[in-house]
Amino acid sequence: MPTIKKFQVTFDCAEPERVARFWCEVLGYVVPSPPEGFTTWADFDRSLPPGDQGAWFACVDPSGVGPRLFFQRVPEGKVVKNRVHLDVRVATGLVGEERLATLESECARLVALGAVRERLLPADEDNESCIVMRDIEGNEFCLD
């Protein structure tokens, strides 16, 4: 039987630190400590060649359970729908009005952080309701 490997989720973006800090707020993740010998990430960043400064940023689950999120600067902007997206599981096990209220409450919190609400996908015979959203650089995700 194959062994399960740890993995990280990588986002292509224009402003890695800004997007990473947004996702820290969404998921309760934290920015890890800077590399040894540096007091802050800004100090580390200034030590890099000018073309590499601000090129990436990361955040981690403080419990160590969830995957590391890595954000890398790319020159091109987002132009098409994501092929992979995150489902932010805020209403697991909830149904009906209780689920909708939980989704709407979290949606309002994330909109205040800069996310954009796209649309509500109402419950049907196979799936519960979810809300399709976009992060601060337009990457799709769902509140589920």
DSSP assignment of 94-111: --HHHHHHHHHHHHHHHH
Write down the pLDDT at residue 135.
96
Write down the pLDDT at residue 34.
95
Residue 127 lies in a domain: yes
Tens of pLDDT, residue by residue over 13-39, are: 999 999 999 999 999 999 999 999 999
Q: Is residue 135 a contact partner of residue 85, using CB atoms and an 8 Å limit?
A: no
Residue predicted with more confidence, 5 or 40: 40
* 116/62 same-domain check: no
Residue 2 lies in a domain: no
Residue 10 binned pLDDT confidence (cut-offs 50, 70, 90):
very high
Residue 79 lies in a domain: no
* 102/58 same-domain check: no
Tens of pLDDT, residue by residue over 38-84, are: 999 999 999 999 999 999 999 999 999 999 999 999 988 777 777 78
Looking at the structure of the chain, the number of domains it has is 2
* Cα angle 122-9-110, degrees, rounded to a multiple of 5: 45
Residue 115 lies in a domain: yes
Q: What's the average model confidence in pLDDT over 118-128?
A: 91
Residue 15 lies in a domain: yes
Residue 24 lies in a domain: yes
Helix, strand, coil tally for the chain in percent (to 5): 25, 25, 50
Residue 92 lies in a domain: yes
Q: Examine the fold and report which residue of 73, 106, 124 is the final residue of a domain before the chain moves on.
A: 73
* 12/59 same-domain check: yes
Write down the pLDDT at residue 20.
97
Q: Is the pLDDT of residue 86 over 80?
A: yes
Q: Is the pLDDT of residue 5 over 80?
A: no
Cβ-proximal residues to 8 (8 Å cutoff; 6+ apart), any chain: 58, 67, 68, 69, 70
Range of the domain at 115: 86-143
Write down the pLDDT at residue 81.
79
Strand (E) or helix (H) holding 46:
helix 41-46
* 24/49 same-domain check: yes
Q: Average model confidence (pLDDT) for the chain? A: 93
Write down the pLDDT at residue 82.
79
- Using a cut of 0.75, tell me whether the model's pTM lies above it: yes
Q: Examine the fold and report which residue of 73, 94, 124 is the final residue of a domain before the chain moves on.
A: 73
* 95/65 same-domain check: no
Residue 129 lies in a domain: yes
